Copies of this chain bind each other. A is one copy, B any other.
Amino acid sequence: MQEFVNLDALDLRLLAALQEDGRLTNQQAGERIGLSPSQCSRRRLALEAAGLIRGYHAELAAEPLGLKLLVFVQVTLATHSRDNAQRFRELVGRLEEVQEAYAMTGDADYLLKAVVPDLKDLAALVNDVLLPHESVARVRSSIVLERLKESHRLPLKALRRGG
């Protein structure tokens, strides 16, 4: 794993191609960015070794799987002691419904993004898990009505060279 990465245009295009389609063949990726399959393989291995590619994942369809609700939950801690923060951290780590959890600026301390089958499960999550937890003081949940855009792609075009 090299310490300082310097990416050229080909690397960026390869990263873009792979975050678009993670199962691209070196051959296909090579055609797309203008490189031979072998060189494509080498560059991809280098990008993985450099830690720029953190993994490959299948993106599943939530709706047909019966996970119909996407919810953002703002959480305020009871106290801001180190212990409390640690307990809360462990809690969200354990909860499978919580896809993402961030410490934020603004009103609430934390923002959670959770996926649940329906309102009943949301109620259970909030009332039976989050609120009773010793570390939590207040909870405010907002339900997603419509998904306008949902991509996990990083804006690579915004990068100045040598990022």
Where the two chains meet, the residues of A that have a C-beta atom closer than 8 Å to any C-beta of B are 5, 15, 18-23, 50-62, 64-67, 70, 72, 89, 92-93, 96-106, 110-111, 115-117, 121, 140, 142-160, 163
Q: A145 touching B102 by the CB < 8 A rule?
A: yes
Docked complex Cα distance between A5 and B159 (Å): 42
Q: A102 touching B61 by the CB < 8 A rule?
A: no
Q: A158 touching B96 by the CB < 8 A rule?
A: yes
**What are 9 A-B pairs at a CB distance below 8 A?**
A52-B61, A54-B61, A56-B57, A100-B149, A100-B150, A101-B150, A104-B142, A105-B143, A111-B142
Docked complex Cα distance between A115 and B156 (Å): 10
Interface centre among A54, A59, A62, A99, by most B CB within 10 Å? A59
Docked complex Cα distance between A146 and B148 (Å): 26
Docked complex Cα distance between A50 and B61 (Å): 10
Contacts of A142 in B (CB 8 A): 104-106, 111
Contacts of A103 in B (CB 8 A): 144-146, 148
Docked complex Cα distance between A44 and B79 (Å): 47
Q: A99 touching B153 by the CB < 8 A rule?
A: yes
Contacts of A99 in B (CB 8 A): 149-154
Docked complex Cα distance between A53 and B55 (Å): 17
User: A44: nearest residue on chain B (CB-CB)?
Assistant: B58
Q: A100-B151, A148-B93 are in contact. Are A57 and B60 (CB under 8 A)?
A: no
Q: B65 touching A54 by the CB < 8 A rule?
A: no
